[in-house]
Structure 1
Amino acid sequence: MLPKVFGILAAASIAAAVPASITTDSGSDSTSTSVTHTSTATSDIAAAAATAKTESPTSNVKGAAFDRILQIYLETTAYENATADPNCQALIKQGILLTEEFGVGAPSQPNYIAPASGDNFGLNSDSFILVNKNVSTIVDLLEDKGISWGDYNEGLPYTGFDGFAYDNPVEGDYVRKHNLLARFNSVMDDPDRAAKIKNFTLFYEDLDNKRIPQWGFVTPNLYNNGHDTNITVSCNWTRSFVEPLLANPYFNDNTVIYITWQANGQNPIARNHVAGILLGSAIPKELVGTTDDAYHNHYSELSSVEANWNLHTLGRWDVGANVWKFVAAKTGDVIRSWNERIAGDLFENYYWNQSYGGVFSSAVEGLHVYVAPNTRLVRHGRTVLPSIVKLWARYCGKLPDYYRDIIELPDALHPPRASRSPSA
């Protein structure tokens, strides 16, 4: 059941023009098929797949610390278990281990909506949800600077599929809750954007044809990501996927690969401590085999991408999140430590394993509106995307203390200051 939403700007839309600096290599000459919460009947899948539009854009925008990033999300594994696996240890030795990284909610889906949009909006389930078209994502920021992007999902039956799940007889089970961008109307309602939500096999096709985007996201199926198996399976899959890429001179050209686990789902009362691994040719040689012990969460990859390419921001929790240290060394961003006075409590008393009130919260007293981004925020010269400022202008300033330029991320025990007040 979809949550009741007292929509903000429900009828408005964001223009998403593709900058001229992106060149598009279409994987299909056929016309686009409208995909609206598709069924998974075999005949429907076959019909839609025959006409699904696929795009593989490329670009070459130089970054401060890397020119390409590929992100890989795995499932529900505690930090100590991920770092104990021999295959993941082999990857850690080739890069940087993030030792103080935390998820932002539970179960899985909040940790996938967060790095795309800068908030989890109170989500505390894996239900089918649709995020209002007025909520911007990393896609808006990348396209604003002409940076190509692609989202690859193992088991996805065809490009732009918007169904809840699919039992792929060849590639294994696919679920929408693990697809980073499929829940956002600002992405899926745009045919050219939906054309970049692709099957994982197309990653290898793009690799062979040298059309891997500068920003990429990979989601293994339920077996390979460890959801239906274990850390042994997921680390083995990840190592077998990553190491050939590290040896590929086209792919690994000033590239960073980021591997993380969406949550510590093995102990619901434990703090949501997960591991993060950074590796690739963009990692300075002197940092290989070292650690980054700053506080990071699933907004840190968003803030690090913003810093690397000097992007605008989304005006949400992405603004305050610590940038990865190796990126900050190139951009001049300040790495901040937890401030108990700002947080109102000790770092050890934050858990991030439940969601506070929000538009998708099932809590009776949850905040059932979209909170406007804080368009006044500026982080190291990076301002909020102008189209976001314009779109949300009439609602900005209603909750000035909700989104702040701080690393002290709220949790269910420490909700945002104004989380009981609507923004419109």
Structure 2
Amino acid sequence: MIRGRVVAAAALLLAAACAPTTHSGSAASSGSTTAPGEVPTPDHVLVVVFENKDAASVVGAPEAPYLTSLAAAGATFTDAHGVTHPSQPNYVALFAGSPLGVVDDSCPHSFEASNLAGQLLAAGRTFVGYSEDLPAAGDTSCRAGRYARKHNPWVDFPALPPEVNQPAGALPADFADLPTVAFLVPNLCNDMHDCGVPAGDAWAKAHLPAYVGWARTHDSLLVVTFDEDEGSRDNLIPTFMVGPMVKPGSTPQRIDHYSVLRTLEDMYGLPPLGEAASRQPISGIWTAG
């Protein structure tokens, strides 16, 4: 468990949620800081990645009451997709714009390619990936208990400083100390890979409300997504975003991991990597700033 994170803030989240609407995805709303076709620049983005579930198994499912309520408070993508099977190449694609030749869950890998963390650091921004049950900061183990390196792509890029690879327990007590972009990856039970939807929903309820409540008054964003579905060709996954810059409601625009990466890059003025260059940034869900 992330220290100091078991905060019962779900009531705050639900009270702040607006009535759902449907977004066309054709254009972003205009405003003082977010003009049509633009994405916002959140102070912080936290990306949480779960595992191997069909979209209908999570959002709206009785086994996932907290995640369903969280999705209802934000923008839910009804046509979101993983890019391949199995797990590992999806994580690499989300982080680097390409699976970089990875086609399985083998370990270890080492890449020299450009990646989101390197881009952020070069631009004077910050990045940290937090992995539950990672034995120690900078650890390069392939497996340790319920930690699996295959779900931790930043460790595969040795040019990155080891400080970007942190245990989940290192998540700062003061969210203002978070990096510009952070990834949070639960262990093999809590990510739903081994223990199913109820375990992941319970983990989310224990660890996410505090950040969500804080983000609403600190111009910050939560992204919840999954690596892949349960093995279908369509690879339809749950994905939603919650924050003060997001209009609650469902959106039918088709997105995938490259779309999410492109959006993160556009938020901070970074050039799109690999297949992210062939995607448009996510639109139609942003409020006027």
Q: What amino acid is the match of 1:236?
A: A
Residue aligning to 2:17:
none
Match 2:140 to one of 162, 165, 180: 162
Distance 1:73 1:82, change over 3 A: same
Distance 1:318 1:252, change over 3 A: farther
Q: CA deviation at 1:105?
A: 1.1
Query: Retained in 2: the 8 A contact 1:114–1:298?
Result: yes
Q: What amino acid is the match of 1:230?
A: G
* Separation of aligned partners in 1, 2:232 and 2:46: 31
Match 1:306 to one of 265, 269, 273: 265
Query: Within the alignment, does 1:175 sit opposite 2:148 as a pair?
Result: yes
Residue aligning to 2:25:
none
Match 1:75 to one of 28, 44, 51: 51
Deviations 1:239-270 (A, max 9, x none): 32111212236x851111000111112xx344
> Which stretch of structure 1 is more off in the superposition, 141-150 or 108-117?
141-150
Q: What amino acid is the match of 1:317?
A: E
* Separation of aligned partners in 2, 1:255 and 1:209: 10
Q: What amino acid is the match of 2:66?
A: N
* Separation of aligned partners in 1, 2:276 and 2:286: 15
Deviations 1:297-320 (A, max 9, x none): 011121001111221232x10111
* Separation of aligned partners in 2, 1:278 and 1:96: 5
Residue aligning to 2:6:
none
- Larger radius of gyration, structure 1 or 2? 1
* Separation of aligned partners in 2, 1:269 and 1:93: 25
- Matched ranges for 1:217-232 at <5 A: 217-232=183-198
Query: Retained in 2: the 8 A contact 1:98–1:277?
Result: yes
* Separation of aligned partners in 2, 1:277 and 1:200: 21
Q: What amino acid is the match of 1:321?
A: R
Residue aligning to 1:292:
251
Q: CA deviation at 1:106?
A: 1.1
TM-score by length of 1: 0.55
Q: CA deviation at 1:321?
A: 1.8
What are the ranges of 5 or more consecutive residues in structure 1 without an aligned counterpart? 1-61, 168-172, 188-192, 332-424
- Matched ranges for 1:273-422 at <5 A: 273-283=236-246, 287-288=247-248, 290-314=249-273, 316-326=274-284
* Separation of aligned partners in 1, 2:155 and 2:138: 8
Deviations 1:83-119 (A, max 9, x none): 1232221111110101111001111101110011100
Query: Retained in 2: the 8 A contact 1:65–1:282?
Result: no
Q: CA deviation at 1:213?
A: 0.8
Residue aligning to 1:202:
170
What are the ranges of 5 or more consecutive residues in structure 2 without an aligned counterpart? 1-33
Deviations 1:167-198 (A, max 9, x none): 2xxxxx111001131122332xxxxx211210
Aligned pair count reads 249
Query: Retained in 2: the 8 A contact 1:149–1:214?
Result: yes
Query: Retained in 2: the 8 A contact 1:245–1:252?
Result: no
* Separation of aligned partners in 2, 1:320 and 1:95: 26
* Separation of aligned partners in 2, 1:215 and 1:66: 9
Distance 1:113 1:244, change over 3 A: same
Q: CA deviation at 1:228?
A: 0.8
Match 1:97 to one of 76, 91, 105: 76
- DSSP 3-state at the match of 1:317: helix
Q: CA deviation at 1:67?
A: 2.1
Percent pairwise identity: 22
Distance 1:255 1:223, change over 3 A: same
- DSSP 3-state at the match of 2:238: strand
Q: CA deviation at 1:225?
A: 0.6
Distance 1:208 1:64, change over 3 A: closer
* Separation of aligned partners in 2, 1:200 and 1:77: 22
* Separation of aligned partners in 2, 1:156 and 1:92: 28
RMSD (Å), alpha carbons: 2.2
* Separation of aligned partners in 2, 1:262 and 1:297: 10
Query: Retained in 1: the 8 A contact 2:40–2:286?
Result: no
Q: What amino acid is the match of 1:262?
A: D
Bigger RCO (CA 8 Å, 6+ sep): 2
